[in-house]
Structure 1
Amino acid sequence: MSELYGSDAYAPREVAQRIETVGVAKARLATVPLLMLGVLAGAFIGLGSLAFLVVRADASLGWAAGQWLGGGVFALGLLLVVVAGAELFTGNNLLAMAWADGQIGTREVLRNWGWVCLANFVGAAGLALLVFLSGQTALHGGALGQAAVKVALAKQALPWHEAFFRGVLCNVLVCLAVWMAMAGRSVVDKAVAIVPPVATFVAAGFEHSIANMFFFPLAMLVQASEAAPAASVTWGGMLGNLLPVIAGNLLGGSVLVGLTYHVIYRRER
């Protein structure tokens, strides 16, 4: 069918089938490799988040320029997940397609989402600790560390409904990036598919739960090293952000992208 589109990319109907096939494999992956790949994904997203903070630490950039440039470098995280191979909770919301087609059960989906989300947190928070211990937060006169605190404080201050809907919009774009990457046959194809939607969600200020699992721990580590922090990022604040953002990510990725494309391309079959 790809020939009909005048390129070597997979057609959308073929992408739907590929995502369901991959979803079955992900849902039935053994626990140990699933956890290890989940830790890697959390660390990969953390690396993208660190790159974003490097941009945000430069006060000479205008707001729009900083947002778009930060989004462009943040895309490194999802590119590593897709190309190097890892299990990311937000991308795995597309397992809803295989579930809706009856190829995997509810318990298998929830098992994958639960373990992967937990492992992503370990990977993201673990990378935050390594970044702090390496002295990276002292770069640019400590501006990088202060950028982490400012980002976390802004996320902590979001009302729950804003955090939820920003999570919805974020994962619509993330899952569309994964969807389009599955249409590509080369690393270049995947990079071209991933960067624009990821840069857009970051520039627009949407909420990615796994990235936030990096920002909050790093901000708290920076605060703990200060004699008298000006403001306070807390574990309660992190939880108050993550719960609505995770719920929003789930709705955006599994329903608005996964189940929508299932109805379009797979339901009649």
Structure 2
Amino acid sequence: MSDFGKFVDAFTPAEVAEKVKTIGVDKANMHFLSLIILALMAGAFIAFGAMYYTVAITDSTMAYGMTKLVGGVAFSLGFIMVVIAGAELFTGNTLVVMAWAKGKVSLPALLKTWTIVYIANALGAFVMVYLVYLSGYLDAHHHQVGATALKAGLAKVDNTLTESFVLGLFCNVLVCLASWMVYASRTVSDKVLAILFPISAFVAMGFEHCIANMYMIPVAILASLDPAIVAASGVDASQLQDLSLNGFMMNIIPVTLGNIIGGGVFVAMTYYLVFVYSPNSSK
């Protein structure tokens, strides 16, 4: 193949596996301050995507499926910024499992990286919740934006533990496959297209993403405290009892576990066994 052909052609799955393994080592060895800052940014970027999603579906007159599709495309903004601008997102970092399986990253290093990124993602999302509250964003369109945010969060805390786990598993399979295809891409436009379909799909189908929920459920809790937003939503006040710290935790814990299994096992370990593991060696 000519040099030009190598430039424009996507990386093969086997080449992507090698990149994921190498990048996993880099992530596990990243300087603490850099990791914290990039993870804070990722939490904020995902919150921006959720804000865009909320506005995009508010007062929609389109059919259910089209409304969800448009919302999913809007939500993809957050992941596009994570990949193109650069940030560290917990769900994507489950792919570091591949480097761990190969013996390039120790289990303590893997868990330390996950813990730092997870906490910083959460802090970034929580800061965005507070700033959204101060901005008056929820009052837009006669409180309808706040009503949409309230109903979106309420739908999440109404899931059972099993539903939350499986929806989290499905979600991170798509998120990590999006990351995998990004690693196969060579241009910015390639990367955007690789992100757009799987991310909009998980949003449209109602799958659960732990970092997105760290923005969407707390902002719904704040919205539920505003009588004008509750009135605009048409939701009876008695239905809002699960919009609480307990409801938040009962969603986040199973969704996080589902995200880890979806990305770390269903994607990272599957491709490890196909492209990296050698039965003639110990790894």
Q: Same fold (TM over 0.5)?
A: yes
1:265 and 2:275 are equivalent in the alignment: yes
1:69 maps to what in 2?
Answer: 70
Paired residue type of 1:22: I
Q: Deviations over 1:141-173 (max 9, x none)?
A: 111111111111111010000100000000000
1:256 maps to what in 2?
Answer: 266
Select 1:246's aligned residue among 253, 256, 262: 256
Paired residue type of 1:169: F
Alignment of 1:114-263 (within 5 A): 114-226=115-227, 229=230, 230=237, 231-232=240-241, 233-263=243-273
Quick check: 1:212–1:242 contact (8 Å CA) kept in 2? yes
Paired residue type of 2:258: G
Quick check: 2:8–2:186 contact (8 Å CA) kept in 1? no
Q: How many angstroms does 1:216 deviate by?
A: 1.2
1: CA distance, partners of 2:191 / 2:2:
16
Q: Deviations over 1:84-139 (max 9, x none)?
A: 11110000000000000000000010001111111111111111211121111111
Quick check: 1:71–1:198 contact (8 Å CA) kept in 2? yes
Q: Secondary structure at the match of 2:118?
A: helix
Distance change >3 Å, CA 245–CA 21, structure 1 → 2: same
Quick check: 2:146–2:229 contact (8 Å CA) kept in 1? no
TM-score by length of structure 2 reads 0.91
Q: Deviations over 1:211-261 (max 9, x none)?
A: 100011111222233379522410110000000000000000000000000
TM-score by length of structure 1 reads 0.95
Q: How many aligned residue pairs are there?
A: 269
2: CA distance, partners of 1:226 / 1:262:
52
Larger radius of gyration: 2
Quick check: 2:49–2:75 contact (8 Å CA) kept in 1? yes
2: CA distance, partners of 1:5 / 1:72:
30
1: CA distance, partners of 2:260 / 2:120:
17
Q: CA RMSD in A?
A: 1.9
2:49 maps to what in 1?
Answer: 48
List runs of 5+ in structure 1 lacking aligned partners: none
Paired residue type of 1:245: V
1: CA distance, partners of 2:266 / 2:48:
27
Quick check: 1:2–1:8 contact (8 Å CA) kept in 2? no
